[in-house]
Amino acid sequence: MGVADLRKLPSVEKLLQHLEAANSGLPRTLLVDAARAAVEAIRERLLRGEEVSVDAGSIVESALRIARTHGTPTLTRAINATGIILHTNLGRAPLSARAAQAVADVVAGYSTLEIDRDTGRRGSRHQHVEPLLTRLSGAEAATAVNNNAGAVLLALSTLARGKEVIVSRGELVEIGGSFRLPEVMAQSGAHLVEVGTTNRTYARDYERAITAETGLLLKVHRSNFVVSGFVHEASPAELVEIGRRRGVPVMFDLGSGCLVDLRSRGLPYEPTAQDAVAMGCDLVTFSGDKLLGGPQAGLVVGRAKFIEMVRAHPLARALRMDKLDYAALGATLSAYLDPSTVWDEIPVLQMLTRSAAELRAAAEELRDALRQRAPGSWQIDVEPTTSEVGGGSLPEAHLPSYAVAVRTPTQLEERELALRRHHPPVFARIAENALLLDVRALLPGDAPIIVDALTSSGTPEGQLR
Ligand SMILES: *Cc1c(COP(=O)(O)O)cnc(C)c1O
């Protein structure tokens, strides 16, 4: 064994014959690359003096594995056992059944994306969400773009290019690294005028900063952090009063953009789009896939004349949403028309409001199923834990939840890795020497998959690339 085996390595040609005989259904180009990669990997290991089998059968196996990995889409569904409801890395909001169905209906064929059914002529894609958004928010007009970062960029570019935008120093937020308000502002061509201090900004600070160059007063919801102690901020209503008097429009970037009052379910207040509109804000921007619980989108509601300007801006075309998004957003918004069922229909709202008893029962069920299949040496218990809302929303909300805590005699890290490599992958966390499976953000049907992922022998290390 060792370097001497180099001569015994099958040729790529030979390997390819085996691979094609295996009828994997994978395209030949992938098989050729995989055959090369598999032989090369073994050659390298032999040269390092490792003991590796050069048996053609096992090389074919590993080549097939490589080809399958490369031939499989990398974006797959995943199971969220982290307890973080709006996990940005796991795709934020899961869609409602109605929204998923709407997407499925639209993807399969043609759609009425931009056609007027009465005339048979070109219509507008805005028709699919504007009536819903105006009804739900109380605004005169509404539009939607690719995401909220895009909505803010577009609104600033439209209303304030070459002009000054007044913002409180306490609201110059960064969201998830790639969205920093001063940088978005710079991209839009607007000039940032900071007023107040990190902790205290008054209405009079904005008023004093207004000049002939002022294009906009901007209020930004500090979605993902809190300041407490010696603090003050000007309310949107105060800004609106100043804006009206001085002839300057007021925009409120809500970030998360809720359409229901979370206080009604014992959660912290999150400004709703309808509150912002009622206070008189001229433009209000918010995300589609945060607390709203829909697809990635940036919603803009407000005065008709500003919405028209926003739509007519050249960037609007570059930031427009696609038909799948319209389908999902339209279905999500229509769920909000019935306040009595929306809390059950939208998964994000449902997860936010799951009761302790319900979570505990779900955790106990998962624990029992795991105990049935897991080795006797594992310790599996239900433990109270805290879940987060995530997605830069409701940073103050610490939601009491339940998790199944798994303690194994072997390396927990390996188990956690095996979960991530399972199909579909399961994401959990390790804390206090236990693998914690928080049940809050689990969806129906997830539990048996977790049991499988954790108790099946799993993929041995190093096989997947
Ligand atoms: C999240 C957020 C954004 C960005 O929204 P995306 O939909 O992620 O692009 C902008 N502003 C605020 C205040 C936010 O919280």
The first and second tokens of residue 50, run together, are: 């490792």
pLDDT at position 179: 85
Q: Could you tell me the distance, in angstroms and rounded to a whole number, from the CA of residue 344 to the centre of ligand 1? A: 25
Ligand 1 binding pocket includes 287 (Cβ within 6 Å): yes
Distances (CA, A) of 157 to 23, 201, 219, 285: 55, 25, 16, 14
Q: Which atom of ligand 1 is nearest to the CA of 297?
A: 7
- 3-state class (DSSP) for residue 141: strand
Instruction: Encode the chain (465 residues) as per-residue pLDDT tens digits.
Output: 567 778 888 888 889 999 988 888 889 999 999 999 999 999 999 999 888 888 888 889 989 989 988 888 889 999 999 999 999 999 999 999 999 999 999 998 999 999 999 999 999 999 999 999 999 999 999 999 999 999 999 999 999 999 999 999 999 988 876 789 999 999 999 999 999 998 999 999 999 999 999 999 999 998 778 888 889 999 999 999 999 999 999 999 999 889 999 999 999 999 999 999 999 999 999 999 999 999 999 999 999 999 999 999 999 999 999 999 999 999 999 999 999 999 999 999 999 999 999 999 999 999 999 999 999 999 999 999 999 898 878 888 889 999 999 999 988 999 999 999 999 999 999 998 999 999 999 999 999 999 999 998 644 433 333
d(CA 49, CA 395): 53
pLDDT at position 235: 95
pLDDT at position 172: 92
Query: What backbone phi and psi angles, to 5 degrees, belong to 102?
Result: -60, -40
Q: Could you tell me the distance, in angstroms and rounded to a whole number, from the CA of residue 336 to the centre of ligand 1? A: 21
User: Of 385, 374, 369, 354, which Cα lies nearest the Cα of 454?
Assistant: 374
Q: Could you tell me the distance, in angstroms and rounded to a whole number, from the CA of residue 154 to the centre of ligand 1? A: 13
243 and 333 Cβ atoms separated by less than 8 Å: no
Question: Residues 6 or more apart from 365 whose CB is under 8 A from it?
Answer: 447
Question: Residues 6 or more apart from 452 whose CB is under 8 A from it?
Answer: 422
Q: Could you tell me the distance, in angstroms and rounded to a whole number, from the CA of residue 255 to the centre of ligand 1? A: 4
pLDDT at position 52: 85
pLDDT at position 44: 92
Ligand 1 binding pocket includes 149 (Cβ within 6 Å): yes
Question: Residues 6 or more apart from 454 whose CB is under 8 A from it?
Answer: 370, 374, 406, 415, 418, 419, 426, 435
Q: Could you tell me the distance, in angstroms and rounded to a whole number, from the CA of residue 13 to the centre of ligand 1? A: 53
Ligand 1 binding pocket includes 93 (Cβ within 6 Å): no
Q: Could you tell me the distance, in angstroms and rounded to a whole number, from the CA of residue 148 to the centre of ligand 1? A: 5
Helical H segments across 247-382, by residue range: 273-278, 304-312, 314-318, 323-335, 342-345, 347-352, 356-373
10 Å CB burial of residue 248 (0-12, 13-18, 19+) is buried
Strand partners, 141: 302
- Give yes or no for a cis peptide into 347 (omega within 30° of 0): no
pLDDT at position 1: 52
Query: Residue with the nearest Cα to atom 11 of ligand 1?
Result: 255
User: Which DSSP category does 353 fall into?
Assistant: T
d(CA 311, CA 145): 10
Ligand 1 binding pocket includes 295 (Cβ within 6 Å): no
Query: What backbone phi and psi angles, to 5 degrees, belong to 415?
Result: -65, -45
d(CA 455, CA 404): 14
Residue type, 386: T
Query: What backbone phi and psi angles, to 5 degrees, belong to 381?
Result: -135, 160
Mutation test residue for ligand 1: of 223, 348, 394, the one with most atoms within 8 Å of CB? 223
Give the pairing type, strands 174-175 and 179-180: antiparallel
Helices 12-21 and 56-71 cross at an angle (nearest 10°) of 70
d(CA 72, CA 95): 23
pLDDT at position 265: 95
